[in-house]
Amino acid sequence: MRLGVHVSIAGGLQEAIGRARRLECTAMQIFSRSPRSGKATPLSADLVQNFDRERRSLGIEPLAVHSPYIINLASAQESVWNGSVRLYQEEYQRCTLLNAQYLVTHVGTSKDAGEEVGVEQVAKAMGRTLDFLPKSPLMILLENTAGSGQGLGHRFEQLASIRNRVKAKNRVGFCLDTAHLFAAGYSIHTEEGLEATLQDFDRIIGLKHLRLVHLNDSKVPFGSKVDRHWHIGEGHIGTAAFKRIVNHPDLRGVPFILETPKLTEADDPRNLAMVHSLIARPSRRVLSHT
């Protein structure tokens, strides 16, 4: 199982690699810029080369980049949508330069324009972005949301509808966030609910298109439609549920990324250790010598 965290880029990309190395990550996620600002520091050729070389030498795969929060691809407001598409294309290009495998994307909100308009706007934005760099191997991952406000992406049907409208479907996959699933009303905290959720995802989208899981407990109760990540096993989803999740055969081979709170320097190591403790180890056969 590939396991890592969302790593801070404070101090630069090389500092992010150092943090991932100290945490013994085998996968990682970053922002390539401030998530709440449109301005981005240019990526020099030397920086990109050094970052890529060190990441690969450490065997960290995949590298996922989370898109900035200020991007709203679902907006029905022309100026907002055009600005978001420009930023998204820029981010897609930056991720390509970094040799990232995935660009994790929140689809945004269409507000009063409605779901159908929002779905169409996101699909159109992604089509333009993929046409912008047609030979890039970078895959866009649509991430499910908690369902707060008028945002899209909290139901599998919405995410599937977006992908179905993109011409280059092979360049679009999915990321599931456990805290978001739980808040949106998918009962992954129970054994039966986890099975039903994965079956629904497979029926509506297809498990073969699931490329990443954000592993987060929830600070808020089931179905609250509020996005509040919490430490693994210490929230409303609970330890038993996470043990089922990390060992589920349908999720075997899918990388897990923790986006749990970083209130102290001990938090990431503690959450990683908790996940490792839940992973079932293959039993050893005892040979008889009689």
Helices (H) and strands (E) in the chain, counts: 9, 10
Q: Do 6 and 16 contact (CB within 8 A), yes or no?
A: no
- CATH code of the domain in which 263 resides: 3.20.20.150
Closest by CA position to 193, among listed 139, 236, 228: 236
Residue of 82, 48, 83, 45 lying closest to 65 (CA atoms):
48
In a domain, 114, yes or no: yes
Q: Measured at the alpha carbon of residue 261, what is the angle toward residues 259 and 262, in degrees to the nearest 5?
A: 105
| Residues marked as catalytic | 36, 66, 69, 106, 143, 177, 180, 214, 227, 229, 259
pLDDT value at residue 176:
98
In a domain, 17, yes or no: yes
Instruction: Read off the DSSP letter of residue 286.
Output: P
CA 121 to chain centre: 21
- H or E stretch at 96: helix 78-97
Phi, psi of 93 (to 5 degrees): -65, -40
d(CA 154, CA 144): 5
C-alpha radius of gyration, the chain, whole number: 19
Nearest Cα neighbor of 200 from 152, 144, 255, 254 is 144
- Residue at 131 is within a domain: yes
Encode the chain (290 residues) as per-residue pLDDT tens digits.
Answer: 899 999 999 999 999 999 999 999 999 999 999 888 768 889 999 999 999 999 999 999 999 999 999 999 999 999 999 999 999 999 999 999 999 999 999 999 998 899 999 999 999 999 999 999 999 999 999 999 999 988 899 999 999 999 999 999 999 999 999 999 999 999 999 999 999 999 999 999 999 999 999 999 999 999 999 999 999 999 999 999 999 999 999 999 999 999 999 999 999 999 999 999 999 976 555 444 44
In a domain, 286, yes or no: no
User: Based on the structure, what is the number of domains in the chain?
Assistant: 1
Query: Dihedral of the CA atoms 273, 275, 277, 282 (nearest 10)?
Result: -130
For residue 49, give its domain range.
3-278
283 located within any domain = no
Map 103-122 to HEC letters: EEECCCECHHHCHHHHHHHH
Q: Taking every pair of C-alpha atoms in the chain, what is the biggest distance, in angstroms? A: 79
pTM of the model: 0.95
**Cβ contact 42:12 at 8 Å:** no
Tell me the two tokens of residue 59.
């065997």
Distance between CA atoms of residues 63 and 56, nearest Å? 10
Q: Tell me the pairing of strands 63-66 and 27-30.
A: parallel
CB distance 7 to 47 below 8 Å: no
In a domain, 81, yes or no: yes
